[in-house]
């Protein structure tokens, strides 16, 4: 039976996979989620042992896509997406301790885990748009990595114009150049005077402005888009299988900001993968760790840290977790999100909090602790962590259980954050050769205030899909 997708806020039409992918945010402001979870038995999972990444991806993703894209096309798209990765295993596992493993998600074109989903999403969207003869305008918000990955994946595509909002002065120089040195005519980098939360709020306001949304055929590539989260489920399966699943339970620590990556781990668990703890690792922007501790989701000002991609207070996919942890209670989600918008905080209902605590643990790592972790891991094993992954390792070591393997998701290559890594370890990681000359290329971007009307006008002026 085909899965359809419903809004976490309960007031938008249910959609099939392709429509949900093109829609991005639901029209009631909610996030699309599958109405039911595909289910994999222990035998189904055992059957995947030893298979290549692309075959496991095909098996995990097929039930979400259903028959809307035929099997041969989906296989081809998956193969092409992961042929862009520089490691044969696509997302290899490296052992760094007796029961500690690093899942390297940074072997794609822009050196961050975002490539895993973005390479697939761009090809899926292009296929669907070509078969419908349609064009879209993609607007994305980034704290540094989503933007570069989206620009790389969608550059020069005929059917999409891409506008990326990044917080001016708050991304690393490598991240900035990955966004501002594309010469593609369909790419528009916009430096916004604000932080990532401002960029993401502007993006959601654009989706909620239905006149604008319809005028430009707005679509999204943030983890707002279900297909982004879906693609990230695969590496929970591949890594757990390497460590003995389904006959062994595996825990995961995930450097977390917008909650998309760790929500993919929760999805894998709901689908039958034996996942133990899902550990949320945050930097000084520790809203999620505070929420799990206190039951109050309460925003504060964003602090600029050495792991800038996680400098986030309004964690978009927490809404998806609230939906499932509340027993699929769209009213509770809607009320919570309205309260958050009005007052900057909301109390998590006691049963919902208990359900969250049953699956998740959380802790934060300060900048000093993160730097010390980079230094210590380098000294002990020669392995060089980026600051986001180091946040994960720090927290994983505090919360690991002796008998359960702990996989830490390595979300970025250290070369994206050379200054922080150099200051912590004394080693300056070089960019790989395919990015040679990146830092010398000429930049093109437009600076705009954090003003909805001005940004919408800019998009309308430059979007080919504007009617
Ligand atoms: C390098 C890096 N690590 C971790 C994160 C946090 O991931 P998520 O937003 O899915 O929680 C991000 C941004 O999303 C990132 O770019
Ligand atoms: N850290 C992200 C923030 C956006 O996250 P997304 O998963 O919702 O796209 C980034 O690097 O831009």
What confidence tens digit (pLDDT) does each residue in 439-459 have? Answer: 999 999 999 999 999 999 999
pLDDT digits (tens, 9 = 90+) for 345-376: 999 999 999 999 999 999 999 999 999 999 99
The token pair at 221 is 């590539």
Taking the CA of residue 232 as reference, the ligand 1 atom at the shortest distance is 10
- pLDDT given for residue 278 in this prediction: 98
Is 395 in contact with 365 (CB distance < 8 Å)? Answer: yes
Residue 416 designated active-site: no
Residue percentage of the chain with pLDDT more than 90? 98
As a whole number, the mean pLDDT across the chain is 97
* 347: helix, strand or coil: strand
Task: Please state, in angstroms and rounded to a whole number, the distance separating the CA atoms of residues 4 and 64.
Answer: 8
Nearest CA to ligand 1 atom 9: 258
pLDDT digits (tens, 9 = 90+) for 211-233: 999 999 999 999 999 999 999 99
- Nearest Cα neighbor of 77 from 94, 57, 60, 50 is 57
Cα-to-centroid distance, 274 and ligand 1 (Å): 23
Q: Which residues line ligand 1 (CB under 6 A)?
A: 112, 143-145, 223, 255-261, 309-310, 388, 411-412
Nearest CA to ligand 1 atom 15: 309
Looking only at the bridges linking them, the beta strands covering 93-97 and 100-104 are antiparallel
Is 272 in contact with 44 (CB distance < 8 Å)? Answer: yes
The token pair at 59 is 């098996």
Output the CA angle 235-31-15, nearest 5 degrees: 95
Mean pLDDT of 286-293: 98
Mean pLDDT of 159-164: 98
Mean pLDDT of 141-167: 97
Of these residues, 114, 204, 269, 394, which one is catalytic? 114
Mean pLDDT of 27-49: 98
**CA 440 to each of CA 47, 70, 173, 178, 223: distance values in angstroms, whole numbers, following the listed order:** 48, 43, 11, 11, 31
- pLDDT given for residue 324 in this prediction: 98
Closest ligand to the CA of 417 = 1
**CA 173 to each of CA 115, 176, 178, 203, 415: distance values in angstroms, whole numbers, following the listed order:** 19, 5, 9, 23, 11
Task: Please state, in angstroms and rounded to a whole number, the distance separating the CA atoms of residues 203 and 25.
Answer: 10
**Residue whose CB lies within 8 A of the most ligand 2 atoms, among 148, 223, 392, for a mutation test:** 223
Task: Give residue for tokens 């239905």.
Answer: 210
Mean pLDDT of 263-288: 98
Taking the CA of residue 175 as reference, the ligand 2 atom at the shortest distance is 11
- pLDDT given for residue 374 in this prediction: 98
Q: Which residues line ligand 2 (CB under 6 A)?
A: 142-147, 222-223, 257-258, 260, 309, 316
Taking the CA of residue 259 as reference, the ligand 1 atom at the shortest distance is 11
Half-sphere exposure (Cβ direction) of 106: Cα atoms closer than 13 Å:
24
Is 32 in contact with 5 (CB distance < 8 Å)? Answer: yes
Is 82 in contact with 119 (CB distance < 8 Å)? Answer: yes
Closest ligand to the CA of 282 = 1
With 90 as the cut, is the pLDDT of residue 465 above it? no
Helix/strand/coil (H, E, C) string of 227-285?
HHHHHHHHHHHHHHHHCCCCCCCEEEEEECCCCHHHHHHHHHHHCCCCEEEEEEEECCC
With 80 as the cut, is the pLDDT of residue 467 above it? no
The token pair at 403 is 């008998």
Give the orientation angle of helix 387-399 with respect to helix 367-381, to 10 degrees.
Answer: 90
With 90 as the cut, is the pLDDT of residue 402 above it? no
Taking the CA of residue 223 as reference, the ligand 2 atom at the shortest distance is 8
- pLDDT given for residue 1 in this prediction: 63
pLDDT digits (tens, 9 = 90+) for 166-212: 999 999 999 999 999 999 999 999 999 999 999 999 999 999 999 99
Domains of the chain, first to last? 93-112+226-425 (3.40.50.1100)
Cα-to-centroid distance, 146 and ligand 2 (Å): 5
**Residue whose CB lies within 8 A of the most ligand 1 atoms, among 141, 200, 280, 309, for a mutation test:** 309
- pLDDT given for residue 405 in this prediction: 97
With 70 as the cut, is the pLDDT of residue 379 above it? yes
With 70 as the cut, is the pLDDT of residue 63 above it? yes
Strand partners, 286: none
CB neighbourhood size of 408 (10 A) = 30
Task: Please state, in angstroms and rounded to a whole number, the distance separating the CA atoms of residues 64 and 62.
Answer: 5
With 80 as the cut, is the pLDDT of residue 93 above it? yes
- pLDDT given for residue 56 in this prediction: 98
DSSP string, 391-442: HHHHHHHHH--TTS-EEEEE-B-GGGSHHHHHHHHS--PPPPGGGTTGGGSP
Local structure of residue 113 (DSSP, 8 states): T
Q: pLDDT grade, residue 466 (50/70/90)?
A: confident
Strand partners, 253: 279, 408
Give the orientation angle of helix 418-425 with respect to helix 387-399, to 10 degrees.
Answer: 50
**Residue whose CB lies within 8 A of the most ligand 1 atoms, among 144, 225, 256, 264, for a mutation test:** 256
Q: What is the enclosing helix (H) or strand (E) of 165?
A: strand 160-167
Q: What is the enclosing helix (H) or strand (E) of 446?
A: strand 446-449
Task: Please state, in angstroms and rounded to a whole number, the distance separating the CA atoms of residues 44 and 24.
Answer: 31
What is the predicted ipTM?
0.99
- Nearest Cα neighbor of 234 from 91, 115, 371 is 91
Taking the CA of residue 221 as reference, the ligand 2 atom at the shortest distance is 9
Nearest CA to ligand 2 atom 4: 142
Alpha-carbon dihedral angle through residues 18, 24, 28, 33, given to the nearest 10 degrees: 60
**CA 282 to each of CA 155, 166, 257, 290, 309: distance values in angstroms, whole numbers, following the listed order:** 31, 20, 7, 10, 11
């Amino acid at each position: 039976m085909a899965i359809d997708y419903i809004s976490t806020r309960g007031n938008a039409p249910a959609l099939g996979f392709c429509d949900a992918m093109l829609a991005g945010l639901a029209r009631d402001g909610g996030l699309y989620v599958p109405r039911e979870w595909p289910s994999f038995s222990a035998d189904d999972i055992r059957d995947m042992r030893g298979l290549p990444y692309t075959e496991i991806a095909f098996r995990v993703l097929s039930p979400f896509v259903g028959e809307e894209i035929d099997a041969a096309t989906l296989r081809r798209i998956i193969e092409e997406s992961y042929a862009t990765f520089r490691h044969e295993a696509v997302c290899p596992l490296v052992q760094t301790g007796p029961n500690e493993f690093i899942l390297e998600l940074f072997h794609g074109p822009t050196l961050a885990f975002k490539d895993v989903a973005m390479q697939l999403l761009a090809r899926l969207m292009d296929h669907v748009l070509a078969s419908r003869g349609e064009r879209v305008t993609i607007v994305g918000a980034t704290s540094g990595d989503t933007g570069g990955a989206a620009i790389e994946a969608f550059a020069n595509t005929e059917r999409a114009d891409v506008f990326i909002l990044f917080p001016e002065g708050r991304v690393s120089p490598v991240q900035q150049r990955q966004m501002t040195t594309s010469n593609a005519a369909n790419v528009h980098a916009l430096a916004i005077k604000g932080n990532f939360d401002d960029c993401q709020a502007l993006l959601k306001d654009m989706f909620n402005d239905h006149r604008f949304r319809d005028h430009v055929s707005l679509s999204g590539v943030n983890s707002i888009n279900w297909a982004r989260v879906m693609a990230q489920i695969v590496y929970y399966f591949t890594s757990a299988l390497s460590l003995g699943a389904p006959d062994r339970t595996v825990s995961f620590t995930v450097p977390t900001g917008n909650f998309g990556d760790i929500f993919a781990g929760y999805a894998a668990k709901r689908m039958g993968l034996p996942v133990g703890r899902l550990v949320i690792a945050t930097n000084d922007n520790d809203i999620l760790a505070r929420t799990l501790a206190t039951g109050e989701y309460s925003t504060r000002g964003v602090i600029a840290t050495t792991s800038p991609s996680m400098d986030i207070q309004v964690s978009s996919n927490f809404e998806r977790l609230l939906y499932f942890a509340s027993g699929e209670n769209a009213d509770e989600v809607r009320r919570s999100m309205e309260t958050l918008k009005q007052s900057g905080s909301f109390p998590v209902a006691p049963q919902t909090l208990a359900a969250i605590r049953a699956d998740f643990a959380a802790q934060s790592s300060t900048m000093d602790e993160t730097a010390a972790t980079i230094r210590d891991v380098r000294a002990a094993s020669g392995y060089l962590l980026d600051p986001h992954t180091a946040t994960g390792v720090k927290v994983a070591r505090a919360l690991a259980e002796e008998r359960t393997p702990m996989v830490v998701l390595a979300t970025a290559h250290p070369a994206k954050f050379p200054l922080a890594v150099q200051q912590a370890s004394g080693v300056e990681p070089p960019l790989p050769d395919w990015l040679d000359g990146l830092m010398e290329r000429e930049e093109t971007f437009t600076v705009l205030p954090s003003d909805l009307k001005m940004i919408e006008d800019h998009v309308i002026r430059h979007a080919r899909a504007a009617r």
